[in-house]
């Protein structure tokens, strides 16, 4: 399963680990995804993998 937010599309970012000796190895920063129940556009409850930024900002409407 892809590590991508289903609301904003945020995915993994890439870069380097840099040691004290300045050796570089590739690494990934993964988004903080959570499985939440949310209300879809058609009004039904669905389960989605959403980043915590979208949850905090109110982009995810949780069922009552």
Reported as a single tens digit per residue, the pLDDT across 2-23 is: 999 999 999 999 999 999 999 9
DSSP code of residue 21: T
Domain range enclosing 36: 13-57
Indicate the pLDDT class of residue 64, thresholds 50, 70 and 90.
Answer: confident
CATH number of the domain within which 37 lies: 2.30.170
* Other Cβ atoms within 10 Å of 5 Cβ, number: 22
Q: Confidence class of residue 55 from pLDDT cuts 50, 70 and 90?
A: very high
The pTM for the full model equals 0.84
Is residue 2 domain-resident? no
Q: How many residues does the chain have?
A: 64
Question: What are the respective helix, strand and coil percentages of the chain, to the nearest 5?
Answer: 10, 40, 50
What percent of the chain lies above the pLDDT cut of 70?
A: 100
Residue 1 has pLDDT above 80, yes or no: no
């Amino acid at each position: 399963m892809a590590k991508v937010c289903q609301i904003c599309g945020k995915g993994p970012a890439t870069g380097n680990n840099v040691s004290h000796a300045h050796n570089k190895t590739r690494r990934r920063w993964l988004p903080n995804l959570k499985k939440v129940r949310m209300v879809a556009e058609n009004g039904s409850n669905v389960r989605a993998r959403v980043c915590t930024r979208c949850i905090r900002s109110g982009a995810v409407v949780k069922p009552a």
